[in-house]
Amino acid sequence: MTTLQMETLNACPLCGTAALHHTLTAPDYESHTGDYGIDECGDCGAAFTNPRPVEADLPKLYAQRSTVDFPALDSGLVAHLRDFAIDRYLADPLRCLNSAPAEHGLDILDYGCGDGALARGLVRAARKHGRGYRITATDFHDAAPPRLAGIESIRYVPQARSQNEDVRYHAIFLRHVVEHHPQPDRLIRELKTRLHPGGRLFIEVPNRRSVWARAFGGAYCAYNLPRHLFHFDARSLTGAIERGNLRCERVALAHTPLLGHSLGYLLSRKIQNTGLVGVATYPVQVAVDALARTSSTLRATAIADG
C-alpha cells in the first residue's frame, strides 16, 4: 500500500473561505490508501478532497501508470472506439485553431498526457488536415508512455524539465488534468505564461453534478479519491479559470464512459470503463444524463487575451 503524507484544509483552496460543508466520505478504491472526504465551499461552490495528499507526494499515485487514469485497452475494438472518441473530442478545438492564421504551424502542448491518447489523436488530425502541428507531451514520468514510443512527431518532456523551457504554445490541452492539481487556479496562471497572446487552454474535467454522482455516491468513479483533488461543476470551473487570469469563453456539457468503474467499485469487482461493460452501458449513461440535462464531464475553453 502506498504511504502518503496528508494535509487537512480549513479553508477553500480557491477562494480562502472557511465556510465548508462536508458532502461525503469514500475510500481509495484503487490503491487502498484509506478514506477521504469531499468538502464544498459555501462561497465559490468549489468541492475538494479533504484531507488530501500533500503536493510533493502526488507523483506516488501515478508511479505505475496502472490506475483508472491509464485505461487498459484489452481489445482492438475498444482501442478503435477510444481513438474515435478522441478524434471527436479534438474536432471543435482544432476547427477553432485551424481557422486562425498560422504561417509557421501550430505549437500544441498535451499537458498531463497520461497514456498519450490525445497526443496521438493530434498526430492523426495533423495528417487529416494537412497542418503543421508541433506536438509536445508532458507528464510526471521521466520516460514517455509506451504508446508514444517511436512517434517522431511527438516530443515528450518530463514536467520537471518542461517547466523550465522557454516555449510558447498556441494551445494547451488539459484533458482530465485540472482535477488532479492542488491549486487549479495556480496551474492555469502558470500555463497562461506559456501561451501566445490569444492562445487557448482546452480543459475537460468530470462533472460532479452528473446524475450518476447522485446514483453511485462515494462509488462514483469520477471522484477517484484521492487522485482527484477537486470536483468541479460549471460554476467552480469557471471560477478557477477566472482566478487563473484567463477569460472563460465557454463551458459545455460532454460525456465519457464511467459506468464500468463505478459498477466495479460498487460491486468490488474489476470492471473497466473502456472494457465491454463500460462500452456497452455508455449509451444508457448518455441517455440518462441527457434526460437529467446534465453530463459526465465539462469542457471549457479559456483564452489568454492580449
What integer pLDDT is reported at residue 118 of this predicted model?
Answer: 96
What integer pLDDT is reported at residue 80 of this predicted model?
Answer: 82
Contact 204, 228 (CB under 8 A): no
The H or E element that residue 90 is part of is helix 76-98
Q: Other C-beta atoms within 10 Å of 192: how many?
A: 17
pTM for the full predicted model: 0.93
Instruction: In whole angstroms, give the CA distance from residue 123 to residue 90.
Output: 11
What integer pLDDT is reported at residue 50 of this predicted model?
Answer: 97
Instruction: In whole angstroms, give the CA distance from residue 283 to residue 259.
Output: 10
What integer pLDDT is reported at residue 40 of this predicted model?
Answer: 97
Contact 289, 213 (CB under 8 A): no
Going by C-beta distance under 8 Å and a sequence separation of 6 or more, which residues neighbour residue 89? Answer: 118, 121, 175, 204, 254
The per-residue pLDDT string of the chain (306 residues; one tens digit each, 9 = 90 and over) reads 568 899 999 999 999 999 999 999 999 998 888 999 999 999 999 999 999 999 999 988 887 766 656 665 555 777 787 888 899 999 999 988 887 666 568 999 999 999 999 999 999 999 888 888 999 999 988 899 988 988 989 999 998 898 888 899 999 999 999 999 999 999 999 999 999 999 999 999 999 999 999 999 999 999 999 999 999 999 999 999 999 999 999 999 999 999 999 999 999 998 888 778 888 899 999 999 999 999 999 999 999 986
**Which one-letter DSSP state was computed for residue 207?**
B
Residue among 109, 153, 92 at smallest CA distance from 300:
92
What integer pLDDT is reported at residue 59 of this predicted model?
Answer: 87
